[in-house]
């Protein structure tokens, strides 16, 4: 089944987009992982990439990160074309990707260490962000001594401490338990409000996407494409406790499910 | 191990049992080849201070540590690079596997032609005995590395050198240490074979001298010293391995 592709017209000056993806195609031999994808990510907002498995959402995120090279098309971050990883983007990994032989302090400071920031300076910054994500007192702990949720807080602190404009999050909460995840989602909303960064968030959870996003891009597989862009309006400014009861929230969740249902095996 | 449910035996108590058996066999006069353990021990303490022994120990230690040093500083980077680069792996792996299982002793005469009869050839022999397993283990350590650690380093702007020193080396360290431990044990073999075949120096010379003169107590005494040295080095490395074990399981 092929659905018509809804493409948002590319209009550079009307909105301030931190990241723009223009006609990206990525193929592995004969297999097209992404086909002619165009998408904009408004500055200071959280955009979710949502879709069934195999829709290329992680591939797209890694192309934006500069970890994968697109077969054709280009990615612009702050107007500059992406040729590889850069200090304007920071990545939060699904499996946390912490150095198991390094303390929380060194892990959080690792991005700064790679950028050649002096030890005392980078540890001062890391200390601030360790406290910021709620891990004060665990600076000397090692990853294997922490729970899954705490490990991802370390991953988040590491991404925050390099102070990139764009935060790329690859299913960051999928490896933590449900209660921890809810707490994370609330914290993420606060982070979007206070940090003034652009968040690109890959998830396969519809509820999660609707709960945290300013904009949701629904991706469909075979060939991968953007099928729909949804911008929740009414409940974004409500406090975290009331979002899940909001009629608009419930409607959007239902709408997305009905459009994705046929793609789930 | 607990005996009778409550007495804890210290580690390696079984050695006492084997020493006792050795003593009994020695005293029974079954063969001149096995003198009693007590006699070997007495000989050991008599021999240990003699200039001949000290000189042999020095020569052996120098060749051994030099050989192990080269095996480590060449073997680990080569192994890591093989684990990282498919091309290099395809090129080198058949050779590494071949030399790992090759009867290296047969190669020693070739080494003598190439490098002469001195210390140099002995060191090279030692290195050749130790290096292959070190390479293979470093390679195996790198190949099981978590891909997202590499991506993480790249995404935060790591240079290839950063990735090598800060990610690959540490991620492969448990395997690398395992390889070095086995390599060191093989190096003990290498250094003695080198000393026996290339130039009769060090412990090799002592073995030659004692066995040619049927001084079996002396022979066993030197062998005991050698065992103890190899065991000590290998235990030291095993202790290092345990220090990194906490993350070996959670990479």
| Shortest distance, CA B245 to any CA of chain A (angstroms) | 10
pLDDT score, position A234? 74
Inter-chain residue contact B157 with A65, CB threshold 8 Å: no
- Please indicate, yes or no, whether residues A54 and A159 belong to a single structural domain of this protein: no
Query: How far is Cα A152 from Cα A113, in angstroms, rounded to an integer?
Result: 19
ipTM of the complex: 0.83
Kindly tell me if the per-residue pLDDT of B185 is higher than 70: yes
What CATH number does residue A203 fall under? 3.40.50.300
Residue B194 structural domain: 35-248
What torsion do the CA atoms of A62, B143, B156, A102 make, to the nearest 10 degrees? 130
What Rg value do the Cα atoms of chain B yield, rounded?
A: 22
Mark which residues 172-191 of B lie under 8 Å from A by CB.
173
Confidence of residue A2 (pLDDT cuts 50, 70, 90): very low
pLDDT tens per residue across span A174-224 = 888 888 888 888 888 888 888 888 999 999 888 888 888 888 898 888 777
Is B240 among the domain residues? Answer: yes
**pLDDT tens digit sequence for A89-109:** 999 998 899 999 999 999 999
- Model pTM score: 0.79
A127 shares its domain with A107: yes
CB contact under 8 A, B246 and A110: no
User: CB contact, 8 Å: A162 with chain B?
Assistant: yes
- Best probe of the A interface among B155, B162, B171, B245, by most A CBs < 10 A, is B155
**A111–B154: do the CB atoms touch at under 8 Å?**
no
Domains held by chain A: number:
2
Return the half-sphere exposure (C-beta side, CA atoms, 13 A cut-off) of residue B78: 18
Residue A180 sits in the same domain as residue A240: yes
A49 lies in the same domain as A172: yes
A116 and A73 in one domain?
A: no
Indicate if A70 and A144 belong to the same structural domain.
Answer: no
Structural domain count of chain B: 1
Q: What's the token pair of residue A8?
A: 């948002």
Nearest C-alpha of chain B: how many angstroms from A12? 27
Parent domain of A213: 1-8+18-88+166-265
Task: Say if A235 is an interface residue toward chain B (CB within 8 Å).
Answer: no
Residues A81, A175 share a domain: yes
Neighbours of B14 (CB within 10 A): 10
DSSP 8-state code for residue B28: T
DSSP A95: T
Interchain CB contact of A63 with B (< 8 Å): no
Tokens matching residue A20: 């723009």
**Contact across the interface for A89 and B244, Cβ inside 8 Å:** no
The answer for residues whose C-beta is within 8 angstroms of residue B93's C-beta and 6 or more apart is B82, B139
Q: Do A87 and B162 touch (CB under 8 A)?
A: no
Alpha helices (H) along B119-168: 119-143, 147-155, 160-162
User: CATH number, domain at B153?
Assistant: 1.10.3720.10
């Amino acid at each position: 089944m092929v659905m018509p592709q809804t493409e948002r017209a590319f209009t550079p000056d009307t909105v301030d987009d931190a990241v723009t993806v223009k006609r990206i195609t990525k193929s592995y031999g004969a297999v097209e992982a992404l086909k002619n994808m165009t998408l904009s990510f408004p500055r200071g907002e959280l955009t979710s990439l949502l879709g069934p498995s195999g829709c290329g959402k992680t591939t797209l995120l890694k192309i934006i990160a500069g970890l994968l090279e697109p077969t054709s098309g280009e990615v612009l971050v702050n107007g500059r074309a992406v040729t590889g990883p850069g200090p304007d983007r920071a990545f939060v990994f699904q499996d946390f990707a912490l150095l198991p032989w390094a303390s929380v302090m060194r892990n959080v400071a690792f991005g700064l260490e790679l950028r050649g920031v002096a030890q005392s300076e980078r540890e001062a910054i890391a200390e601030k962000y360790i406290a910021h994500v709620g891990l004060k007192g665990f600076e000397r702990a090692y990853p294997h001594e922490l729970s899954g949720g705490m490990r991802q807080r370390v991953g988040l602190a590491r991404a925050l401490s390099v102070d990139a404009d764009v935060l790329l999050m690859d299913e960051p909460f999928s490896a933590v338990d449900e209660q921890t995840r809810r707490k994370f989602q609330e914290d993420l909303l606060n982070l979007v409000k206070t940090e003034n960064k652009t968040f690109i968030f890959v998830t396969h959870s519809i509820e999660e996407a609707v709960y945290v996003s300013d904009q949701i891009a629904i991706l469909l597989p075979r060939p991968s494409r953007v099928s729909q862009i949804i911008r929740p309006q009414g409940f974004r400014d409500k406090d975290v406790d009331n979002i899940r009861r909001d009629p608009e929230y419930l409607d959007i969740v239902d709408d997305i499910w009905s459009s994705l249902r046929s793609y789930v095996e | 191990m607990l005996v009778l449910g409550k007495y804890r035996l210290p580690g390696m108590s079984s050695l006492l049992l084997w020493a006792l058996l050795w003593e009994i066999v020695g005293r029974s006069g079954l063969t001149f080849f096995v003198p009693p353990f007590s006699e070997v021990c007495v000989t050991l303490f008599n021999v240990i201070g003699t200039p001949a022994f000290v000189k042999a120990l020095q020569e052996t230690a120098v060749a051994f540590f030099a050989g192990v040093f080269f095996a480590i500083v060449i073997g680990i980077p080569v192994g890591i690079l093989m684990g990282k680069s498919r091309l290099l792996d395809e090129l080198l792996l058949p050779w590494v596997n071949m030399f790992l299982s090759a009867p290296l002793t047969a190669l020693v005469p070739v080494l003598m032609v190439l490098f002469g009869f001195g210390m140099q050839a002995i060191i090279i022999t030692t290195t050749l005995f130790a290096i292959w397993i070190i390479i293979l283990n470093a390679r195996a350590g790198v190949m099981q590395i978590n891909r997202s650690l590499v991506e993480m380093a790249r995404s935060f702007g790591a240079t290839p050198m950063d990735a090598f020193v800060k990610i690959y080396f540490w991620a492969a360290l448990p395997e690398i240490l395992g390889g070095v431990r086995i390599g060191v044990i093989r190096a003990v073999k290498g250094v003695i074979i080198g000393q026996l075949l290339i130039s009769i120096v060090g412990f090799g010379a002592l073995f030659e001298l004692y066995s040619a003169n049927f001084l079996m107590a002396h022979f066993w005494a030197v062998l005991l010293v050698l065992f103890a040295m190899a065991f000590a080095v290998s235990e030291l490395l095993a202790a290092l391995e345990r220090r990194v074990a906490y993350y070996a399981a959670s990479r």
